[in-house]
Amino acid sequence: MAKGSDPTAKKIGAQVWLANNFLSDARLLHSCGSRNAVNQLFYAVEAALIAVMTAEGVHVGAQHRHQLAAILDDMPDENPLKADFRKVEGLTSYATTYRYATPGGNVPRAPKRDDVDGWLDTATSIIGIVTRHFGVDVTPDEFNAVTTITAPPR
């Protein structure tokens, strides 16, 4: 990481790197049938969304409460990724409600494998577009990646 780098470039780079790593973890967990794949998939999408929103000049913070729909409501309509992100906004419920037992002690059912397959495909496409747009090196040893592109996708 370059000393004195633009904080926006650093944040975008870090979020893109995280998105790719969470996505890799989601794929690995899904391949062995783990219900926790969906949690990692949510984190991947959220990280990519934060990178894009940062480029849009929108701070993702406490007001969004890790709700993908609430974050997307603040995304400008001219962003070409908005419709694709909307396809995976339902991951929010699996990343929150479904990771805890119910008050009665029941474990909520995991999402259907086919649903996770679809979300993985959509997330892979989104994260690929975001990674290429910002030109971030997402190899494991580049965890302090910085982008040189801070403009949002158009």
Q: Which residues contact 12 (CB under 8 A, 6 or more apart)?
A: 51, 54, 55, 134, 136, 147, 150
**Residue 74 falls inside a structural domain:** yes
For the chain, how many structural domains are there in total?
1
Let me know: does 42 contact 95? Beta carbons within 8 Å: yes
In the chain the first and final C-alpha atoms are separated, in Å, by 27
- DSSP class per residue in 33-85: T-TTHHHHHHHHHHHHHHHHHHHTT----GGGTT-HHHHHHTS-TT-TTHHHH
DSSP-derived secondary structure letter, 2 = -
The residue that leads in pLDDT, 141 or 105, is: 105
> Which pair of structure tokens corresponds to residue 141?
């040893």
**Residue 153 falls inside a structural domain:** no
What is this structure's pTM?
Answer: 0.92
Distance CA 149, CA 98 (A): 36
CA distances in angstroms from 122 to 5, 6, 23, 24, listed in the order given: 32, 30, 11, 14
Looking at residue 11, which CATH number applies to its domain? 1.20.120.330
**Residue 146 falls inside a structural domain:** no
Show the domain range for 125: 7-134
- Is it the case that residue 83 has pLDDT exceeding 80? yes
**Residue 150 falls inside a structural domain:** no
pLDDT tens-digit series, residues 115-134 = 999 999 999 999 999 999 99
- Is it the case that residue 140 has pLDDT exceeding 90? no
Q: What is the pLDDT of residue 145?
A: 84
**Residue 139 falls inside a structural domain:** no
**Residue 95 falls inside a structural domain:** yes
**Residue 56 falls inside a structural domain:** yes
Q: What is the pLDDT of residue 79?
A: 97
**Residue 26 falls inside a structural domain:** yes
Q: What is the pLDDT of residue 3?
A: 47
pLDDT tens-digit series, residues 91-109 = 998 877 777 888 999 998 8
Task: Check the CA dihedral 24-27-30-32 and report its sign.
Answer: negative
pLDDT tens-digit series, residues 15-66 = 999 999 999 999 999 999 999 999 999 999 999 999 999 999 999 988 878 8
- Is it the case that residue 2 has pLDDT exceeding 70? no
Let me know: does 111 contact 38? Beta carbons within 8 Å: yes
CB atoms within 10 A of CB 147: 27
